[in-house]
Amino acid sequence: MKTPDLTILRGLWTRDKAADRVVPPAGYTVTLTLFSAGAMAFLAVFALALSLAAGRLADRWGDELARASTIRISAPAGQMAAQTEAALRVLQQTPGVAEARALSTEEQQALLEPWFGPGLPVEDLPVPQLIEVIEDGAGFDADGLRLRLQAEVPGAVLDDHTRWRQPLVTAAGRLRALGWVALVLLCGAVAAMVTLAANAALAANAQVIAVLRLVGATDGYIAGAFVRRFTLRSLTGAAVGTAAGLAALALLPSADDAGAVLTGLGLRGWHWVWPLFIPLLAALVAWLATEAAARRVLGGLA
């Protein structure tokens, strides 16, 4: 595989009017290149935002669920208060427990509201008492705590969220990977569209290329004209598409990192810098694709 010609790269920013006339300044190849680069950059902004948002959610879910546990107490109404006090007493004596508190009636009602609607009379229903347990850095021995609760608080069940945490973290991790895969596919689509446009432009200018060769123009000079024109077109289209994508992200409903995936899709902090590399990436892809196409077509015209 041939390495890219760096002399072409150095000539991207040096305008040569004679070389520029080799490439048609207008036509469907211009529209195709600008539109495809802009559309792919617009979609790449959302793919990147999705990947970064999924990464934030994976980190948050992993950290918070790993540090939090729940104790559920099911007991007759006359024994509920006593068993709750006994469970809190056990938790206060358990190494690794930083905080433990029984949820109030209003908090439990808020937890059930999405399923049963507002105004649920929790106090009149046999709803278990929930105790929120927060671990410290070292954590506690879950098996040992279960055995002690079984002995002292018969109606208590410890849920350390293990069965909930891993599927959520796995789902968020796969969503993040999907965002990066989408970004790679978009780069491939840009390369394909630029290659098609460059092939069409080279084929349409076959006679001009033959004349340039007769007067002494090298294939590197001719290829450089096409590479420069298509690279700058892709850079321009991708810059416009990236700006439109960032504007669309800014218009999304605001939400903190605790929000849902869709409402939390926006970028946070220094993550706003990442999309600025999308036009440069599109230009790099266009440069490589156009140079490969130019070498192939010019070799076939020899």
Instruction: List, for residues 260-269, the tens digit of each pLDDT value.
Output: 444 456 677 7
- How far is Cα 203 from Cα 23, in angstroms, rounded to an integer? 11
pLDDT of residue 14: 56
The Cα–Cα gap between 162 and 173 comes to 17
pLDDT at 257: 43
Is residue 158 within 8 Å of 145, Cβ to Cβ?
Answer: yes
Task: Report the predicted TM-score, pTM, of the whole model to 2 decimal places.
Answer: 0.66
pLDDT of residue 139: 72
The pLDDT assigned to 240 comes to 95
Cα–Cα distance for residue pair 117/126, rounded to 1 Å: 17
Using alpha carbons, list the distances in angstroms from residue 223 to 53, 189, 203.
Answer: 41, 22, 13
Specify the 3-state DSSP secondary structure of 262: coil
d(CA 131, CA 102): 4
Q: Residues in the chain with pLDDT < 70?
A: 1-27, 60-67, 114, 119-124, 137, 161-165, 253-266, 301-302
In tens, the pLDDT along 65-94 reads 666 788 888 878 778 888 888 888 888 888
Helix (H, G, I), strand (E, B) or coil at 15: coil
